Structure 1
Amino acid sequence: MIMSLHLMPAYIIVIPIAFSIAAYLLPEACSKWVSALCQTLLSLAAFHYFAGIFDMDIHVITLGGWEDFAGITLRNDHISMGFAAMAIFLWWCVLIYAFFERLSKSYLFFLLFLEGTFMGLIMSNDLFNLFVFIEVVTILSTMLITYRGDGSSLRAGFYYLLFNNAGMLFYLIAFIILYQVCGTLNLQLMKEAVPAYMDEFSVKLAYVLITAAFGVKSAFFPVYNWLPKAHSAAPSAVSALLSGLLVKSGLYEFIRLNEVFHYASLDLFLAAVGAATAMLGVTFALCQKDIKLILAFHTVSQVGIMFMGIGPFRGFAYSGGMLHLVNHAMFKALLFLCAGMIVSDYKNRNVTQIRGVLFRFPLLSLFMIVGMLSITGMPSLNGYIGKHIIADSVKHIFWEKAVLVLVNIGTAASFIKISQIFTADYRNLRIPVKKLGPEYLPLFLLASSCALLAAYYRQLASWLFELPIPVFTPSDPIHMLEYGGILAAGYGVYHFFIKKDPPWVGRIRNTDISFENACVLLLGFVCIMSVIVMGL
């Protein structure tokens, strides 16, 4: 059985890449069927493989006949299986939606190729191949961001490419240092070798540089600025992938790094970085009018919440951060796909000008409301689970608890602002109701997942991540009262401070960070971490 599974990780990487080439070379009419066949084969291969290794703690294969310290190794455990399953599900949704967008076969080529390289990224077990996969993912993401070819998408794509590569320069320096110290780039072997060198300056510096590089990939404060630019300019299906999945690659690799070695002296700082990211993201989201920019800044905010749990690697808070990572992928992909359909129909992205969505798109409105309730933390939907676990874990740390409450209120205010798009447009009452089409299938799947992941969150934590989870009942009336209080406070913030669009809101909305200043902030981020870790 194990022999039959030996090369399966390589097949999971190669299948989407091979089919992407076929989709590009075959006639346009065949590309959709090639994509569907690809996803079907990939799903079957992944299911067969995951079922075969599920009872193992870890499954590692070495390619090329080399020794482990020098060869290409692929590693899978419950965390990587969870990410791979999430990726396959989201790619199914995005590909079905892409058929609705009627984009060319080159678009499907990039989507499928990106899926294969992402699978390689999450399975890589050595720092060099991880670097290669991250760079290829960055390039393919840039191609998808700039796909429309207009000025805004080109600017956003090149900003994304340049700044992410600036971050990866730190990663490159770090793995050169670690190779010099440990004599290998294999993460499993490095985990055995690096404890003897933890107090050395070079190893501490390498940890700081890699953390900064992954911070850029996940859009931590203060190096977040590429994310809203890229998400707002990209096609909606790409925005769903970027926000739901690809931005989490930095968090995933940060987790892998900290399995190898971890400096507890940075825990408080990383929690503060997560809190600052969450607050900054929700503040900018509140001040936007562009629906895609609002959603993009909320990705920054939600990543901050995840990092408040994952960054310090502490007990139940870590479990909550991991669950919120998965749950966010579902409701944020749902929101971006719904927003894409609205923008495509109305040819407008300003939430103060779009009206009548509930009448024109009743079913889409229902799905979008599910996503909005989930992100604002309604009990019995998945967005509540991770946030509640994190909040309960830090209830004795006043400033962290206060940040989470403020971010929840700001999130509620933002989506109360968006909800005005559902109100009736009395000037256009004769606009016909939009007919149902296949594009609603991914919305149904994502909306259903928001309910199912809330109902089975303990199984999710146990099966996919092997995490301890506190026992609580989401449907408890106390939780509903708390949620009602959050919504009331959010309405107050929107009605009294945001609705009339005062000048200070416009100033925040128009604030931008140039590439040069973003690089300075990145250097400052590295310097602060270095001072803390070095104990200077």
Structure 2
Amino acid sequence: MLYWLVLIPIVIAIINIMYFDRDSRRIILAVQLGMGVYATDLFRRVANGGTLIDHLGGYDRAIAITLYGDRIAIVLVWLTTLLFFGLLLYAYNKTYFTSEFGFLYLSLQSLIIGLFLSTDLFNIYVLIEVSTVIIALLIMLRKDKQAIYDGMIFLFVSVIGSGFWLLGTGFLYKTFGTLDIYALEDAMARVNDPRTMIIPFAFILTTISLKIALFPLSSWLPIAYGTPSAPSVIPAILSGVYETTGLYLFIRLTMMFRPAIDLSPLFLVIGFATSILGFVFAVAQEDLRVLLAYSTISQVGLIVVGLALGTEESYWGSIFHMFAHSLFKTVLFLAVGTINSHYQSRMMRDIKGGLKELPVTGWAIIFGLLGITGAPLFNGSISKYMISYGSDSPYVQVLLNVINFGTILYSIKFASILSGPTTLSEAKQKAGLKKDWAQWVTFAFGILTLLTGLLGNQVIEILYGYSFDISLTSYLEKAGIYVLLAVAAWAIYKGWIKEAHVVSRIRGIELTFNAMITALVGFFIALAAYMAVII
């Protein structure tokens, strides 16, 4: 039954490219709606009856292609159908929605769902490789010079990174004779010498760390997300859905190796470094989409921190932050698309008076920024509270507040486009997009960031079956800290960041392709060396 979630989008994609042109949009929309209903029904089954497992072909699990739908995976599949449906509505009347776009769009959905459900390391490798090609084609959709360059950088870096996964998979198959994640997890508990797992673990974790853009493997992400001509739904898919596949695989694979090797302390450090450097570079940006790209890096680091803390509360806080991040980052990327269409620019210096010009999009931005900063009552506040609750270390608490301070700082910078006198001429104002109904899709996702915060406890229990009681006193204390951080961030932005020349110098730092590959190899060597020392 799970395989229909993978098959249906790809079958419709093939039919779409072979027999239809733009008129197929209604069929695609109907299929997306049906996928959402089916995913909801499967979620109900998992919530009531436990994990769903499909052994395709009726073979034994050791040799069959197995699809595994536990509570976390099925929630992510459901979220994928929701976001793809919403993004389709946003793109419905756009000129780029051709049969080619529909084919790539549906194919990517099929591959992403496959990544959430597959348990075979080689099948996951194939899904990663094919999805990499699809994303590169989506980045290059409009075929201009910059888009082709950005798409090729993403493609080459990702393919080279995936080679590490393949080598690690080969080591594991030679050792255990199986590639099933859950069978390998059982086998890891019987490994006599954990040092034999250093090389395969280092290979596979290098690929995953590249995919989720952990420091120092994050340089590809702003290039892929920031392509000037790429439609706004592309970075929304990448940040809202595709990045989540990498985080999900990170969870599954670190759990798989944990009986033999536990690298939580290392990834706690890497997570903090990634999150802090991410917000530093985000603050330095003038391009709204690139700012959001670095913001994604920072939020990924925070999620990894929550996972590495190793407590039940922080773990589920990170899981819920993945969900929350998909919502508020979708809001912000789609809002940037609307702003770009209206102002013909993504540069902050060209955009003022956004709330007056585009009130629906403006309020969606406000909701999205309140979500990402963890403002009280929004979904980010619940997930960040849970991550913070998972540690009583004062050092961890200080660093978490530093991260939230940085998040508020770049959010204030982003929000500056909403105020001030409009930068548009009267003629352009009259020709604007105030009645563009796609804005309401963005606003709807913004409302979801609020509702999933207001009903945070209930949402977490419904989605994951995990009950977490928030102390009112503690939550109010966190709200007070949030207000203090917001005031400090506002003062620093107005008094220094807005005019600081050091910010522009940071903005110009980026790695070349050769440097990215050197960082990839260096990360693998450092990871293997660290494990050799601690084991």
* TM-score, normalised via structure 1 length: 0.94
Helix, strand or coil for the counterpart of 2:375?
coil
Q: How does 1:307-322 map to 2 (within 5 A)?
A: 307-322=304-319
Contact 1:379/1:474 (8 A) holds in 2: no
Residue in 2 that maps onto 1:241: 237
Residue in 2 that maps onto 1:436: 435
Helix, strand or coil for the counterpart of 1:178?
helix
Residue in 1 that maps onto 2:116: 122
Query: In the aligned structure 1, how far is the partner of 2:414 from the partner of 2:44?
Result: 42
Root-mean-square deviation over aligned CA pairs: 2.0
Residue in 2 that maps onto 1:530: 528
CA 209–459 in structure 1, closer or farther in 2 if over 3 Å, else same: farther
Query: In the aligned structure 1, how far is the partner of 2:371 from the partner of 2:42?
Result: 32
Helix, strand or coil for the counterpart of 1:75?
strand
Q: How does 1:9-20 map to 2 (within 5 A)?
A: 9-20=2-13
Residue in 1 that maps onto 2:67: 74
Q: 1:148 aligns with which of 138, 142, 149?
A: 142
Is 1:179 matched with 2:173?
A: yes
Is 1:326 matched with 2:320?
A: no
Q: How does 1:88-107 map to 2 (within 5 A)?
A: 88-103=81-96, 104-107=98-101
Is 1:139 matched with 2:133?
A: yes
Which residue identity does 1:408 align to in structure 2? Answer: N
Contact 2:338/2:439 (8 A) holds in 1: no
Residue in 2 that maps onto 1:5: none
Contact 1:385/1:474 (8 A) holds in 2: no
Query: In the aligned structure 2, how far is the partner of 1:199 from the partner of 1:465?
Result: 35
Helix, strand or coil for the counterpart of 2:48?
coil
Query: In the aligned structure 2, how far is the partner of 1:323 from the partner of 1:101?
Result: 32
CA 171–198 in structure 1, closer or farther in 2 if over 3 Å, else same: farther
Gaps of 5+ in 2: none
CA 256–304 in structure 1, closer or farther in 2 if over 3 Å, else same: same
Residue in 2 that maps onto 1:498: 497
Aligned identity (percent) is 28
Greater shift in the superposed pair: 437-446 or 269-278: 437-446
- Residues 234-279 of structure 1 deviation map (CA, whole Å, 9 limit, x = unaligned): 3210111101110121110111113323156521110000000001
Deviation at 1:529, TM superposition (A): 2.0
CA 291–535 in structure 1, closer or farther in 2 if over 3 Å, else same: same
Residue in 1 that maps onto 2:297: 300
CA 209–312 in structure 1, closer or farther in 2 if over 3 Å, else same: farther
Query: In the aligned structure 1, how far is the partner of 2:420 from the partner of 2:110?
Result: 44
Residue in 2 that maps onto 1:405: 401
Greater shift in the superposed pair: 161-170 or 281-290: 161-170
CA 138–473 in structure 1, closer or farther in 2 if over 3 Å, else same: farther
Deviation at 1:101, TM superposition (A): 2.4
Q: 1:276 aligns with which of 259, 273, 277?
A: 273
Contact 1:411/1:490 (8 A) holds in 2: no
Deviation at 1:427, TM superposition (A): 6.5
Helix, strand or coil for the counterpart of 1:512?
coil
Residue in 2 that maps onto 1:4: none
Q: How does 1:262-411 map to 2 (within 5 A)?
A: 262=258, 265-398=262-395, 400-411=396-407
Which residue identity does 2:36 align to in structure 1? Answer: S
Deviation at 1:367, TM superposition (A): 0.9
Residue in 2 that maps onto 1:165: 159
Gaps of 5+ in 1: 1-7
CA 476–387 in structure 1, closer or farther in 2 if over 3 Å, else same: closer
Q: 2:251 aligns with which of 236, 255, 259?
A: 255
Deviation at 1:477, TM superposition (A): 4.3
Deviation at 1:527, TM superposition (A): 2.2
Helix, strand or coil for the counterpart of 2:503?
helix
Which residue identity does 2:79 align to in structure 1? Answer: M
Query: In the aligned structure 1, how far is the partner of 2:20 from the partner of 2:202?
Result: 48
Helix, strand or coil for the counterpart of 1:311?
helix
Query: In the aligned structure 2, how far is the partner of 1:427 from the partner of 1:329?
Result: 31
Contact 2:67/2:118 (8 A) holds in 1: yes
Residue in 1 that maps onto 2:514: 516
Contact 2:360/2:440 (8 A) holds in 1: no
Query: In the aligned structure 1, how far is the partner of 2:510 from the partner of 2:446?
Result: 33
Query: In the aligned structure 2, how far is the partner of 1:436 from the partner of 1:88?
Result: 27
Deviation at 1:198, TM superposition (A): 5.8
Which residue identity does 1:531 align to in structure 2? Answer: A
Deviation at 1:127, TM superposition (A): 0.9
Query: In the aligned structure 1, how far is the partner of 2:204 from the partner of 2:49?
Result: 29
Contact 1:174/1:210 (8 A) holds in 2: yes
Contact 2:361/2:443 (8 A) holds in 1: no
Deviation at 1:436, TM superposition (A): 2.5
Greater shift in the superposed pair: 522-531 or 444-453: 522-531
Contact 2:139/2:147 (8 A) holds in 1: yes
Deviation at 1:148, TM superposition (A): 1.8
CA 67–406 in structure 1, closer or farther in 2 if over 3 Å, else same: same
Deviation at 1:509, TM superposition (A): 0.2
Which residue identity does 1:36 align to in structure 2? Answer: L
| Moved >6 Å (runs of 4+) | none
Contact 2:374/2:384 (8 A) holds in 1: yes
Deviation at 1:56, TM superposition (A): 3.2
Is 1:55 matched with 2:48?
A: yes
Helix, strand or coil for the counterpart of 2:67?
strand
CA 490–427 in structure 1, closer or farther in 2 if over 3 Å, else same: closer
- Residues 63-115 of structure 1 deviation map (CA, whole Å, 9 limit, x = unaligned): 12432211211111101111101101110111111114231221121111110
Query: In the aligned structure 1, how far is the partner of 2:422 from the partner of 2:187?
Result: 70
CA 265–427 in structure 1, closer or farther in 2 if over 3 Å, else same: closer
Which residue identity does 1:169 align to in structure 2? Answer: G
